[in-house]
Structure 1
Amino acid sequence: MNRWLNRVAVVTGASAGIGEACCRDLVAKGMVVVGLARREKVLQDIKSSLPADQAARFHTRPCDVSNEQQVKETFAWIDRTLGGADVLINNAGIVRKINLTDEGNSDDVRAILDVNVLGVTWCTRQMFQSLQRRKVNDGHVVIINSVVGHIVPAVEDFSLNMYAPSKHAITALTEILRQEFNKKGTKTKITSVSPGVVDTEIFEAGSWDQPSGMPMLRSADIADAVTYCIQTPPNVQIHELIIKPVGEAF
């Protein structure tokens, strides 16, 4: 991690779960971290819980990644205030307890696509443009995907509805972005990290019951994987990393 010391990492969906774990891990390893989330009060609580030297390198910013204008303003602030982001962890994501064949779910369907797909698109675009303007050639974009971005298991208790298609879109988006990065002649890397079930509040937020007795990963497990991916040598790009808890059924 030496080459990332005091360089800037942006983490979306930073107020809980995988996003919070990534913030804590990266700032502990010497990076300057900007945590983005809609719940700024929770971000401030995280900052207050850090040791003084880490808290000084942890910055918070309210941002709804589904709002393109907010994303533009946020990355412009990062450029002005911190000199620009070198690492981006696209973690923000939502689920909803709906069935696609039912009426009255249009707002939820749009929200899933807006956050899970377009939010990643807006953030990656703004970060990459900043890298290009600053002539930074070694950035790294990480996208927190899901195993359901590769398979669609049949789950008895609920429908994966638009969540699985949104993650399949992320799988394709990762490759499209890799190709675009290459065509720009940059050495900036992109990695999709696809966890199985992770013990986070995404279940509560999506009105899903947390699976009982199902093997689950910890948020810290995914944060460790993110660190592993971004500290690879300059000639090594981990394009896709799938992580499952031992005993997962799908």
Structure 2
Amino acid sequence: MAAEFWRNRVAVVTGASTGIGAEVCVTLANNYMVVVGLARRTQLIEDLNTRVTGLGKIFAIECDLTDTSSIVNAFEQIKAKFHTVHLLVNGAGRTVANFLLESSAGEVRDVFDLNVVAACTCIMQSVELMKIHGLRSHIIIINSILGHKVMELPKPAYNVYPATKHALTALCQTVRQEIRYNKLNVKLTSISPGMVETDFLKVYNPASYAPYPKLQPKDVADAVVYALHTPPNVQIEEIILQAIPEYKKEEK
């Protein structure tokens, strides 16, 4: 029943051109959703349709998620073409590889603008459109295990990134309170993966993360589907997933 409910519903995915966001787009489209991907590189989003089977479809809207006016404009386009939104998956994020103590204020601000401010703006814009139909809707925030604990490394490499993810953890809690207070038919799930094998890691020296086990983007996309496929009376508030060290596929 839950899977059938999402058929032909409209999903908006930020950070949709690569990595986790791109995989989420394909997975949702293959679950027969109408997917709208937001990113600056729209051609990469359009190209994802080659991986879509069945009736799902991925549409691309150019959006600079560090620019509030660009986000507002993107949601105006969504409203004009699709009328509403049933699902928001906030997947956009970035980091910097240098020490915080050696960073500029501009670098810190850029990370917060994309990881936190853009998430807030997308949530506000999505909820306004979700109110139009009043049907069950869902907000999913792609968080990080670093939004819950900061593991110590031989050489510190996190900079301000964990601070932004801790902000998202708190944001999810406050938005849920507002949703309940306003009696909105909206669920909110935070998905916090450990290290994921994506281009996101390219800001670091490959040797620095090579020893660590890594999830694949599909693992995170599957967690999105798991959260969606719950009955109306069940809300999964948090999913934390980690790769298993030295995992080997079972032999048939």
- Normalising by structure 1, we get a TM-score of 0.93
C-alpha displacement at 1:44, in angstroms? 2.3
Which secondary structure state, in structure 2, belongs to the residue aligned with residue 101 of structure 1? helix
What are the Cα deviations for residues 8-62 of structure 1, in whole angstroms up to 9, with x where unaligned? 00010011111111000000010000011111121122234545843xx211011
For 1:85 and 1:34, the matched residues in 2 are separated by 10
**Partner residue in 2 for 1:111:** 110
**Partner residue in 1 for 2:89:** 89
2:224 is aligned with 1:222:
no
Counterpart AA for 1:198: V
Asked if the contact 2:15/2:93 (under 8 Å) is kept, the reply is: yes
C-alpha displacement at 1:212, in angstroms? 1.1
Counterpart AA for 2:112: L
| Residue among 10, 13, 19 paired with 1:11 | 13
**Partner residue in 1 for 2:144:** 146
For 1:32 and 1:41, the matched residues in 2 are separated by 17
What are the Cα deviations for residues 48-83 of structure 1, in whole angstroms up to 9, with x where unaligned? 4545843xx211011122211111111111111012
Which secondary structure state, in structure 1, belongs to the residue aligned with residue 100 of structure 2? coil
Asked if the contact 1:137/1:186 (under 8 Å) is kept, the reply is: no
Deviates more, 1:10-19 or 1:38-47: 38-47
Asked if the contact 2:17/2:41 (under 8 Å) is kept, the reply is: yes
C-alpha change, 1:232 and 1:97, in structure 2 (3 Å) is same
**Partner residue in 2 for 1:46:** 48
Asked if the contact 1:87/1:141 (under 8 Å) is kept, the reply is: yes
Asked if the contact 1:149/1:170 (under 8 Å) is kept, the reply is: yes
**Partner residue in 1 for 2:66:** 66
For 1:236 and 1:50, the matched residues in 2 are separated by 29
For 1:208 and 1:80, the matched residues in 2 are separated by 44
For 1:100 and 1:90, the matched residues in 2 are separated by 25
The alignment of Structure 1 onto Structure 2 pairs a total of residues equal to 243
C-alpha displacement at 1:247, in angstroms? 2.7
For 2:123 and 2:16, the matched residues in 1 are separated by 16
2:26 is aligned with 1:27:
no
Runs (5+) with no aligned partner, structure 2: 247-252
Asked if the contact 1:97/1:158 (under 8 Å) is kept, the reply is: no
**Partner residue in 2 for 1:245:** 243
C-alpha change, 1:108 and 1:18, in structure 2 (3 Å) is same
C-alpha displacement at 1:156, in angstroms? 2.0
For 2:237 and 2:170, the matched residues in 1 are separated by 12
For 1:48 and 1:25, the matched residues in 2 are separated by 12
What are the Cα deviations for residues 207-242 of structure 1, in whole angstroms up to 9, with x where unaligned? 453611311000000000000001110010001110
For 2:135 and 2:181, the matched residues in 1 are separated by 13
**Partner residue in 2 for 1:197:** 195
Asked if the contact 1:65/1:122 (under 8 Å) is kept, the reply is: no
For 1:37 and 1:194, the matched residues in 2 are separated by 21
For 1:140 and 1:44, the matched residues in 2 are separated by 24
Runs (5+) with no aligned partner, structure 1: none
For 1:225 and 1:19, the matched residues in 2 are separated by 13
For 1:24 and 1:14, the matched residues in 2 are separated by 10
C-alpha change, 1:39 and 1:207, in structure 2 (3 Å) is farther
C-alpha displacement at 1:157, in angstroms? 3.6
Which secondary structure state, in structure 1, belongs to the residue aligned with residue 101 of structure 2? coil
2:229 is aligned with 1:231:
yes
For 1:158 and 1:239, the matched residues in 2 are separated by 30
For 2:188 and 2:67, the matched residues in 1 are separated by 23
Asked if the contact 2:46/2:58 (under 8 Å) is kept, the reply is: no
